[in-house]
Amino acid sequence: MAEEPDNLVLLMLRKMDGKLDRIVEDVQALKVRMTHVEEGLAGVNPRLDRLEVRVDRIEQRLELVDSPYGGVRE
């Protein structure tokens, strides 16, 4: 006896299930990558803060600013 063909709806659901599995895997991979990006940025921000302090000190030494609260001289 020949097998009956699968229901068209079941075929479509199986395809959708396979695609959904791939999407879940992709999202998991993106989560891992975003975590790495966030960890990298966490290390960059303090470095930028230190650079800002150093630039302020250089500007003061070169007398490019009147005071820590002043503006740039012309």
| pLDDT tens-place string over residues 9-49 | 999 999 999 999 999 999 999 999 999 999 998 888 888 88
Half-sphere exposure of 11 (CA within 13 A, CB side): 5
What are the sequence ranges of the domains in the chain?
36-67
- As given in the structure block, the two tokens for residue 4 are 């009956």
Task: Return the closest-CA partner of residue 39 out of 31, 49, 29, 51.
Answer: 31
Under a CB-based contact definition with an 8 Å cutoff, are residues 72 and 64 in contact?
A: yes
CB-based burial label for 60 (10 Å; 0-12, 13-18, 19+)? middle
| pLDDT tens-place string over residues 38-69 | 999 888 888 888 899 999 999 999 988 776 55
